[in-house]
Amino acid sequence: MSKIRYAIAGSAGRMGRTLIEAVLDDEHAELSAALEHASSPALGKDAGESIGRTSGIKIGADVDAALAVSDCLIDFTRPEGTLLHLEACCRHRVSLVIGTTGFATEGKAAIEAAAHDIPVVFAPNMAVGVNAVFRLLDVAARILNEGYDVEVIEAHHRHKVDAPSGTALRMGEVVAAALGRTLDECAVYGREGHTGERPATQIGFSTIRGGDIVGDHTVLFAGVGERIEITHKSASRVSYAQGALRAGRFMHGKPNGLFDMQDVLGLR
């Protein structure tokens, strides 16, 4: 298999630096471009400088130039930037791995439309372990389908801008679907004041933001006399980067299509 040429969006950020290191360490990958916004102080610097490496690739802001020499763009930035990159990927017929979360309905629709032209892996969490948890939650919810209250608790670092996390929402969607519901009809995002007794069909979400927490997620099934907790804790962003590269390899050679990590891991 020839090396896949990766462009990395948000290359000077925490996740961008982790992705660059993962690409440099992967024998099947080649760093072809590193992108940042036009006012970034990182422009012109070697993409590996912040991790003590020399990549030979300068950080730039020209998306079209970057995609002209790339096979795949990995984007863990913000919705507005990702949607601009999506358009560019369509122009250049470059595959796209989207780890960005917090998209509105219109943004998700744009991603679905673009997938008619290019291959896209769009997932709220790229970590293999998290995607194993999604499968476990489906099984648990089908077994614990009566007499158990479901709560989703997530924690992230102080810099995260969306809440609940995309991973927490996906966990809620998996449980709701297994119970024959939709998340829109049963989700409650935080509680305050006199809330009354908890309805049995409710799925509650609690959000914690603080410090440098990479990402903790727990789904609690609370019954009478027992509790079942399914938890995933991320100690670093490396697992997200490794999953993103796996997604890039999965798409290589595909003409188009919208996929998620369940497809990448062969869980469908």
Q: Using alpha carbons, select from 57, 53, 56, 74 the residue that is nearest to residue 9.
A: 74
Task: Point out the catalytic residue in the list 3, 45, 58, 160.
Answer: 160
Q: Is position 156 annotated as part of the catalytic site?
A: yes
Contacts 24+ apart (CB under 8 A), 135-143: 135/262, 135/267, 136/230, 137/171, 137/174, 137/175, 137/178, 137/219, 137/230, 138/174, 138/175, 138/177, 138/178, 140/219, 140/221, 140/228, 140/230, 141/174, 141/175, 141/178, 141/179, 141/221, 142/178, 142/179
Whether 160 is catalytic: yes
Catalytic residue among 156, 157, 252, 254: 156
By annotation, the residues acting in catalysis are: 156, 160
